[in-house]
């Protein structure tokens, strides 16, 4: 069974932390020396960010942010995407704005004019990648942490088939208020609201509040199996997936190399992972999976079809450095005979 969402100007509008990623190779000893938990995401202040940046090996810088990566993926598929996020009026802010618009994403959130002077420069995520491709992230939010309810563009939200909320933004109260405003506008316009849990540490900090928000405001939830386990405090995957499917319309859960599971009511799609010759960097894998799934759902595709698009996008991004596609996902989908709709 497929579901068709009323026609809209945008397939997906994402609300998230506007971040520039700095990616560098490292080993386990470096993580231990820097007191970084492997595979985690932790928030750091400006001084901690500067010290870690100085200690990191030479790497690459690329516009990122979880939800920003997702809408970049939607655009790469040929979908219509929009983004709401806060940058400062500084060099990194100009880089982020240029990059996201260059992939066809509508982005017009006003920049924070005095961000640098107040210690709120454009956010950056320092990502250290071990030889197995696992990423460990230290994030200085900066201006991204200054997104308020007034930054939510009602016209854009109301004209987006799916409004996608980044769980990382659940930390600051004013950003949570922006979530609630976006969800209210979306539902008033007959649109769907999706949220990604983002990280097990986010879930651990805000488990009760996240569950309350999901039950009240989310139609679609995306998570990995670790985040799902943390949300329902159980290692029983099937039980947790069932619990999530009861409180939302659609749940999509990734399981790494084992693929993913998408559940909607009595429907359950087991989606295989696309094979990859070598995993180089898992940064952005979940973000690109979300791009394929959300675009598929927005276009009324089946769970299997949407999941296949997500798996394809994830396979592309883990085969190279950086969180966004290097090969147009629209071309890859055509090569594999996958429908976009």
Q: Is the pLDDT of residue 123 over 80?
A: yes
| 175-206 pLDDT per residue, tens | 889 999 999 999 999 999 999 999 898 999 99
Range scoring the smallest mean pLDDT among 4-18, 74-88, 246-260: 4-18
Report the CATH number that the domain containing residue 287 is assigned in CATH: 3.40.1190.20
36, part of any domain: no
| 210-248 pLDDT per residue, tens | 999 999 999 999 999 999 999 999 999 999 999 999 999
Range scoring the smallest mean pLDDT among 96-100, 114-118, 186-190: 114-118
The residue with tokens 């987006």 is 160
271, part of any domain: yes
Give yes or no for a contact between 297 and 3, defined as CB atoms under 8 angstroms apart.
Answer: yes
Give yes or no for a contact between 255 and 225, defined as CB atoms under 8 angstroms apart.
Answer: yes
Per-residue confidence band for 282, with pLDDT thresholds at 50, 70 and 90: confident
| pLDDT attached to residue 92 | 86
Per-residue confidence band for 308, with pLDDT thresholds at 50, 70 and 90: very high
262, part of any domain: yes
**What average pLDDT score do residues 56-74 get?**
91
42, part of any domain: no
Q: Which residues contact 32 (CB under 8 A, 6 or more apart)?
A: none
Query: Of 57-66, 116-125, 191-200, 274-283, where does the model show the most confidence?
Result: 191-200
For the chain, give the mean pLDDT: 93
Q: Tell me the residue range of the domain where 79 lies.
A: 10-18+64-110+146-335
138, part of any domain: no
198, part of any domain: yes
Share of the chain above pLDDT 70, in %: 97
Per-residue confidence band for 72, with pLDDT thresholds at 50, 70 and 90: very high
| pLDDT attached to residue 4 | 54
The three-point CA angle 257-32-198 to 5° equals 45
Cα 202 from Cα 211, distance rounded (Å): 12
| pLDDT attached to residue 169 | 87
The residue with tokens 């989606």 is 271
| 24-51 pLDDT per residue, tens | 999 999 999 999 999 988 889 988 998 9
Tokens (6 digits) for 327 = 């090969």
- Select from 170, 146, 194, 219 the least CA-distant residue to 310: 194
Number of independent structural domains in the chain: 1
197, part of any domain: yes
Q: Is the pLDDT of residue 2 over 90?
A: no
**What average pLDDT score do residues 122-130 get?**
93
Share of the chain above pLDDT 90, in %: 78
| pLDDT attached to residue 3 | 58
Q: Is the pLDDT of residue 1 over 60?
A: no
307, part of any domain: yes
Residue 202 pairs in a beta bridge with none
Q: Is the pLDDT of residue 116 over 90?
A: no
């Amino acid at each position: 069974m497929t579901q068709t969402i009323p026609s809209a100007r945008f397939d997906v509008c994402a609300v998230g932390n506007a971040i520039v990623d700095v990616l560098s190779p490292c080993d386990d000893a470096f993580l231990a020396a820097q007191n970084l938990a492997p595979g985690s995401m932790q928030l750091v202040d400006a001084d901690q960010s500067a010290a870690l940046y100085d200690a990191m090996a030479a790497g690459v810088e690329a516009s990122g942010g979880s939800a920003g990566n997702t809408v970049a993926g939607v655009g790469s598929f040929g979908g219509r995407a929009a983004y709401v996020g806060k940058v400062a009026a500084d060099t990194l802010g100009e880089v982020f704005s240029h990059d996201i618009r260059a992939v066809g994403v509508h982005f017009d959130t006003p920049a924070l004019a005095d961000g640098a002077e107040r210690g709120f420069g454009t956010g950056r995520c320092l990502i250290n990648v071990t030889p197995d491709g696992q990423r460990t992230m230290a994030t200085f939010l900066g201006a991204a942490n200054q997104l308020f309810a007034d930054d939510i563009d009602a016209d854009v939200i109301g004209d987006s088939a799916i409004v996608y909320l980044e769980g990382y933004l659940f930390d600051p109260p004013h950003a949570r208020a922006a979530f609630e405003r976006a969800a209210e506008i979306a539902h008033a316009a007959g649109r769907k609201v999706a949220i990604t849990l983002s990280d097990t540490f986010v879930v651990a900090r805000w488990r009760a509040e996240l569950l309350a928000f999901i039950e009240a405001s989310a139609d679609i939830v995306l998570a990995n199996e670790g985040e799902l386990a943390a949300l329902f405090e159980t290692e029983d995957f099937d039980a947790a997936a069932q619990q999530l499917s009861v409180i939302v319309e659609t749940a999509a859960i990734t399981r790494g190399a084992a693929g993913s599971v998408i559940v909607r009511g009595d429907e359950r799609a087991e989606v295989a992972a696309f094979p990859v010759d070598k995993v180089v960097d898992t940064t952005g894998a979940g973000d690109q999976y979300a791009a394929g799934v959300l675009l598929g759902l927005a276009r009324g595709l089946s769970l299997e079809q949407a999941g296949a698009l997500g798996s394809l996008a994830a396979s592309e991004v883990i085969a190279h450095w950086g969180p966004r596609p290097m090969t147009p996902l629209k071309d890859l989908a055509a090569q594999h005979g996958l429908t976009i709709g």
